[in-house]
């Protein structure tokens, strides 16, 4: 029995009515009264069904005498890929010393400034200005160790020679550029050690807020880990007032509260910050794969880099990297041991929503 092509066309027509973006690339439809062919997801007003014909691709529609829609551009690459390509090009333009205006960037990628700003933020999670500042901060980290002076490093990273931009670099590093260059030797980090359901826990804070939450088996190992994270900072045990604040962190670890109302000092590259924010968006009791996290930040090829960002996390539970698992659902590595990861997931799964 031969297949009925009418049934196939009706499913295509339903995709057109639904403006189903998943159908893009599978076929195009042409309108007899206008002589134009479109993608299934085209936002133009729907034609009457009797005036619509379907073709396998743009070439077939053009061979039949139809011309491509200027709105959905069915003869061009996938629209989502076009958007990603435009943002990728803009990112390359931003990675230079000169500050580019929004108008200049939008003109370079042939998009209006308003739509470009929305597009850039939807793909990267950051504004163009924040992206360039993050790039400069990363460049600054790379050049501080190699440059003879801090000023040379700041200028080499693309920061203008002004105090306002210098303060931006300071904020991103979590300390002054001079302190960072010397390994944070004048930075003060207070810490305290307490017990929680995961064993012992070290909580540390800088002048900006909580900067480390480290569960472990022994106080000595935890203090050594803190020294590795802040090798040259002035590390000192906290006073009683700070120990009372830490009760919030311990309650979070023990599952007695779901949020933390203390200032945080979260440090990382622009990419790490993106990943960590995505982790904080995962609801308690749920998990995501590394690939799903990469997809959520619009970097589908960065699953391995996501895993590295999880491994670099120093804020247990505050940044819930324990909620990221393998594609199969199996547990993967965890900075503080798979047993703790399993315990955290088990406890969250039992909690009422």
Residues of each annotated binding site for Zn(2+): 38, 42, 69, 72
Asked if 309 contacts 276 with a C-beta cutoff of 8 angstroms, the reply is: yes
Q: CA-CA distance, 297 to 291, in Å (whole number)?
A: 10
Place of tokens 């070439």: 59
Residue 117: count other Cβ atoms within 10 Å of its Cβ: 17
Q: Which two tokens stand for residue 348?
A: 């969250």
Asked if 40 contacts 15 with a C-beta cutoff of 8 angstroms, the reply is: yes
Q: CA-CA distance, 177 to 175, in Å (whole number)?
A: 6
Question: Which residues make up each annotated binding site for DNA?
Answer: 34, 43, 45, 67
Whether 201 is catalytic is: no
Catalytic residue among 91, 196, 310, 321: 321
Whether 321 is catalytic is: yes
Question: Which residues make up each annotated binding site?
Answer: 34, 38, 42-43, 45, 67, 69, 72
Distances (CA, A) of 134 to 103, 142, 274: 20, 13, 11
Of the candidates 162, 167, 101, the residue with the CA atom closest to the CA atom of residue 137: 167
Q: Which two tokens stand for residue 100?
A: 């580019």
Element (H, E) at 32: none
SS3 244: helix
Catalytic residue among 38, 91, 211, 310: 38
Of the candidates 245, 243, 305, 316, the residue with the CA atom closest to the CA atom of residue 270: 305
Buried b (16+ CB within 10 A) or exposed e, 129-163: eebbbbbbbbbbbebbeebeebeebbebbbbeeee
SS3 250: helix
SS3 193: strand
How big, in percent rounded to 5, are the helix, strand and coil portions of the chain? 50, 15, 40
Element (H, E) at 278: helix 270-280
Residues serving a catalytic function are 38, 321
């Amino acid at each position: 029995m031969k297949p009925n092509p009418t049934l196939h066309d009706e499913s295509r027509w339903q995709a057109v009515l639904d403006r189903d973006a998943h159908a893009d690339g599978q076929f195009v439809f042409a309108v007899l009264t206008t002589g134009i062919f479109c993608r299934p997801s085209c936002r133009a007003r729907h034609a009457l069904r009797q005036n619509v014909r379907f073709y396998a691709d743009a070439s077939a529609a053009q061979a039949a005498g139809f011309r491509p829609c200027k709105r959905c551009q069915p003869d061009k690459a996938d629209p989502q890929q076009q958007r990603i390509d435009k943002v990728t090009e803009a990112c390359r333009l931003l990675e230079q010393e000169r500050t580019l205006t929004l108008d200049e960037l939008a003109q370079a990628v042939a998009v209006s400034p308003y739509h470009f700003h929305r597009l850039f933020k939807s793909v990267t999670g950051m504004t163009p200005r924040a992206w360039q500042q993050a790039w400069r901060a990363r460049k600054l980290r790379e050049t501080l160790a190699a440059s003879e002076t801090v000023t040379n490093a700041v200028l080499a990273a693309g920061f203008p020679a002004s105090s306002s931009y210098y303060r931006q670099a300071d904020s991103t590093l979590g300390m002054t550029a001079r302190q960072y260059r010397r390994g944070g030797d004048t930075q003060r980090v207070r810490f305290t050690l307490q017990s929680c359901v995961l064993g012992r826990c070290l909580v540390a804070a800088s002048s900006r807020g909580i900067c480390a939450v480290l569960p472990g088996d022994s106080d000595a190992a935890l203090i050594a880990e803190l020294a590795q994270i802040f090798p040259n900072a002035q590390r000192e045990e906290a006073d009683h007032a700070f120990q009372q604040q830490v009760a919030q962190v311990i309650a979070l670890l023990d599952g007695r509260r779901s949020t933390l109302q203390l200032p945080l000092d979260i440090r990382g590259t622009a990419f790490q910050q993106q990943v960590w924010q995505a982790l904080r968006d995962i609801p308690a009791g749920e998990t995501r794969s590394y690939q799903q996290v990469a997809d959520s930040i619009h970097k589908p090829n960065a699953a391995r880099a996501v895993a590295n960002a999880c491994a670099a996390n120093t804020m247990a539970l505050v940044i819930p990297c324990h909620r990221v698992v393998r594609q199969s659902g199996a547990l993967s590595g965890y900075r503080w041991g798979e047993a703790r990861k399993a315990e955290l997931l088990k406890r969250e799964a039992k909690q009422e929503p």
